Copies of this chain bind each other. A is one copy, B any other.
């Protein structure tokens, strides 16, 4: 086993389980195992997913930037919610797959594909393993059998429930008093449970369930919580570094995961991280409130980098408010960053990077300190903007030699690109897509036309480009162009 060498850092993570900010020490030196609750694939990806998966994307990117080897596991929930809408009169057992209606797995495939399409568009790095719940039914059954054997679970009518009373720490993660919560759960009482707070590990398959597996308790399908216990353990081990997910998963999902895994004798995750949610005018974004925005819709209005910038300008543990002015502000910030990046790259020319100027060394240090403080991305962006301000000043004052400019370019690509994912490789902004060479050709022509005083044609070039969202700006060092998102 080789231990990778790491950049200096002193990472602290706020652990939701102990409610303390603790220094991060990995189980295996130089390696990080992280599990994040993935989507249930039955509808479009929404901005809440973007907040969660961009946040954890940056966590993973930062670990990798520090030099850790990361195994990032994020599940796909493709079972449980999938019931069949057959007419009352039909054979509900559906022993034979029917071609004249959509199979639940077709829906799961479609929405899994759309999920990855949206995440790819947002620049979210793919997880190393994306296990499906239906892919791990034997592993889930093995834990359930263990829990029955240890007296933490019981079977009733083909379903298996976890006995909440058998596990004294139930409620610790979410800070709920389970005696008090008894009253609240009465509404969803199922007559076969011994205690209304008990939760399902395995559900007897009723009529319309197509996705079903045979067991000693009859045909059924896994409860939602058990899949994450089974899959994290399989791919990361009995104990692993970090378990993440949205705050809305803290209760009941993660509370149940912890109860199941601990009760089965598994030490489980060492750090629990929870990202906060998206709000709209201070209210939670949800389908029922009608203030719901899908990632695809948001990307019609905003560039992916703008959405990332907006998400990262709030700490992952704080809610992010989705509003036009917030996105406009994000776009403004991103443009400021991009312009500086472009200018300093131009100044660098083809010089090899030299030593970093002092102000850039300070900015990098501040960036790392911010990220080390529980991945504080708003502060890290602040450090980047200090870098932008000082770089602009140095450029304006003619104090930045090309080798230093190349070093600053590299630093920006590293912090803003590799870690935060809001900047592309240097130079790409100038030639984005395949239009770059044609724009350059048009800029050359325009210059020639102006020198021949054919101003009607040079204006036609400028206006024609503007109609395509490409703006020309004439400066001392020639004409530069920007493409609107």
Contact = CB atoms under 8 A, between A and B. Distances in A.
B99 A71 contact: yes
Nearest to A128: B106
A448 B438 contact: no
A97 B131 CA distance: 15
A190 interface: no
Contact of A106 (B71, B99, B238): B71
- Of A97, A130, A135, chain B has the most CB atoms within 10 Å of the CB of A97
Given A129-B106, A435-B438, A100 B69 contact: yes
A445 B433 contact: no
A434 interface: yes
Given A142-B214, A214-B138, A445-B461, A129 B109 contact: yes
Contacts of A214: 138, 142
A64 to B, nearest CB: 14
Contacts of A105: 129, 131, 235
A437 interface: yes
Nearest to A4: B100
Contacts of A131: 105
B132 A132 contact: yes
Interface residues of A, number: 59
Number of copies of this protein chain within its complex? 2
A382 interface: no
Contacts of A427: none
Interface in A1-48: 1-2, 27-28, 31-33
Interface in A438-456: 438-439, 441-442, 444-445, 448-449, 452, 454
A169 to B, nearest CB: 24
A333 interface: no
A99 B445 contact: no
Contacts of A449: 457
Interface in A122-137: 126-132, 134-135, 137
A96 B448 CA distance: 69
Most chain B beta carbons < 10 A, residue from A103, A126, A142, A213 = A103
Contacts of A452: 454
Contacts of A129: 103, 105-106, 109
Interface in A76-93: none
Given A235-B105, A434-B434, A441-B461, A113 B97 contact: no
A369 interface: no
A288 interface: no
A234 interface: yes
Interface in A197-246: 213-214, 234-238
A252 interface: no
Contact of A100 (B28, B234, B444): B28
Given A105-B129, A132-B135, A433-B433, 11 more contacts: A31-B99, A97-B236, A98-B237, A132-B132, A138-B214, A434-B468, A437-B464, A438-B464, A444-B464, A445-B445, A449-B457
28 contacts: A2-B100, A28-B99, A28-B100, A31-B99, A71-B99, A71-B103, A96-B237, A97-B235, A97-B236, A98-B237, A99-B237, A105-B235, A109-B126, A109-B129, A113-B126, A433-B434, A435-B438, A437-B468, A438-B442, A438-B464, A438-B465, A442-B442, A444-B460, A444-B464, A445-B445, A445-B457, A445-B460, A445-B461
